[in-house]
Amino acid sequence: MVNLVIVSHSARLGEGVGELARQMLMNDGCKLAIAAGIDDPDNPIGTDPIKVMEAIESVADTDHVLVMMDIGSALLSAETALDLLDPAMAAKVRLCAAPLVEGTLAATVSAASGAGIDKVIADAMNALEAKRVQLGLPSHTPDAAAPTLADDGDAKSVSVIINNHNGLHVRPASKLVAALAGFNADLVLEKNGKCVTPDSLNQIALLQVRRHDKLRLLARGPDADAALAAFQALAADNFGESPEAQPTAEPAIPARVEGAALLYPLAPIQPALPAAADVAREQQRLRQAIDQTLADLNALTELAENKFNADIAAIFAGHHTLLDDEDLFDAANDRLLTEQCSAEWAWHQVLMELSQQYRQLDDAYLQARYIDVDDILQRTLRHLQGIKETLPFASEPTIIIADNIYPSTVLQLDASQVTGLCLRDGSEQAHGAIIARAAGIAWLCQQGEALNDIQPGEAITLDMRQQRLIRR
């Protein structure tokens, strides 16, 4: 775990950066402390080594503390603070050269997701890259880990224009991963200079490929021509979607939906960090839980096909593809080996990091996919801990009240009794919303404090035209 200290010459700037950073926190995986300005009303601009020392001490109950600084004497004050600290505590502290605002935000997201100190620093140092790309400036710190394939005599490429209304979201991206699997060729997918290896649904999704974007596949190797041909054929078929087709007719949702309130807490499993006695056993447990989850997703895909249509079934087929990614398992194995932790902890850290990546996307449609990752994570954790899934049960017209809800839960609802879903958070573009509409269940999200103090069984109404909850 990594906590952060913000050091600035200005108290207002330090507090402002801290406020922005706290908005990035989705959990308590990172603590923030601020040491900004000096206690001199006439000359408040400056830094105080004692303040920095005290700030570090306040968040030192962790593996590492990363100090973010602005300019000049902020570095000197931080270095002096290290000299003043107990040597054992000082050994936990790293000073970061990243820009204060962007670097702190990136470091906060990374640390809150459970990343180690080296990755947190790397994310902070690369925090300006997105801005540089957006402004059309060259990268100062190219990512050495990013796949590249030079345009030389051995490399071939084809480019396509994406016509899908929602771009390469999870369903067409799943088809692309499947279509390119098994070719004996080095493959790189490129959009606007950003490259990914197209064997990972996660990486393709993070390219944020939207309608009308130009997408290029580069290939080298014995099967290069075949891979490029498969890519072209899939693109010509719009990755299995019809770009001009009208959406499948959905059951009409009444202007007002009534029912008795049923409170359904999300209650996600939050693993602790116990030491694992046997890494090999934890690896085996994780593999078994993933296999069980993959079997669940096959069953959910079949259920969706039977209840609705192929489009809804493709949601869970996409979940299956996302989970069946050896990179995820390998990342969890790395944590098991380096941290000597439980399978639950390792898997939670890896998938929460992926969930956080989706949350930070600026595309609302792709951003809403974080709940899919959370759904898969919790299903796997239940298998690891032997916990049965608990679904809401309704014996009368019911409106479910929840902070959010997983797509797999919505799929399994009895639409003859569940008339509506009313969420404190959530998104109209979430897969749960798509499934609810297909089932004829009203979906009302982002209701926030309006859901406070609702009692189980209370008669409530969802005003779908005004997008509000009415308590009767």
pLDDT averaged per 10 residues, the chain (length 472): 93 87 72 91 88 95 94 87 93 91 81 81 74 50 53 78 80 79 88 80 72 90 94 91 59 90 91 80 93 93 88 87 86 91 94 91 83 96 94 93 96 95 94 94 94 93 92 81
Give the model's pLDDT for residue 88. 93
Sign, CA dihedral 228-233-236-242, equals negative
Q: 150 in a domain, yes or no?
A: no
Give the model's pLDDT for residue 144. 42
Give the model's pLDDT for residue 385. 94
Q: 6 in a domain, yes or no?
A: yes
Give the number of C-alpha atoms closer than 13 A to the C-alpha of residue 12, restricted to the C-beta side: 2
Task: Spell out a b/e string for 169-180, using b for 16 or more CB atoms within 10 Å of the CB, else e.
Answer: bbbbbbbbbebb
Give the model's pLDDT for residue 310. 78
Give the model's pLDDT for residue 26. 53
Give the residue from 411, 384, 413 showing the smallest Cα distance to 400.
Answer: 413
Claim: this prediction has a pTM higher than 0.75: no
CA distance 451 to 444: 11
Helices (H), 185-248: 201-206, 224-236
Q: 210 in a domain, yes or no?
A: yes
Q: 452 in a domain, yes or no?
A: yes
172 and 114 co-located in one domain: no
Q: 449 in a domain, yes or no?
A: yes
Residue 111, both tokens: 């640390």
Q: 145 in a domain, yes or no?
A: no
356 and 404 co-located in one domain: no
Last residue of a domain, one of 385, 412, 439: 385
Provide CB contacts within 8 A for 369, sequence distance 6+.
169, 170, 205, 358, 431
CA distance 325 to 313: 19
103 and 26 co-located in one domain: yes
Q: 191 in a domain, yes or no?
A: yes
**What residues are labeled active site?**
9, 169, 431
17 and 106 co-located in one domain: yes
Q: 274 in a domain, yes or no?
A: no
Q: Which domain holds residue 75?
A: 2-134
Domain count, the chain: 4
C-beta separation of 89 from 76 below 8 A? no
Q: What is the CATH number of the domain that holds 45?
A: 3.40.50.510
Give the residue from 293, 345, 343, 344 showing the smallest Cα distance to 319.
Answer: 293
CA distance 283 to 73: 48
Give the model's pLDDT for residue 131. 53
6 and 92 co-located in one domain: yes
10 and 90 co-located in one domain: yes
341 and 396 co-located in one domain: no
Task: Spell out a b/e string for 51-62, using b for 16 or more CB atoms within 10 Å of the CB, else e.
Answer: bbbebbbbbbee
- Biggest CA pair distance of the chain: 73
Give the model's pLDDT for residue 201. 59
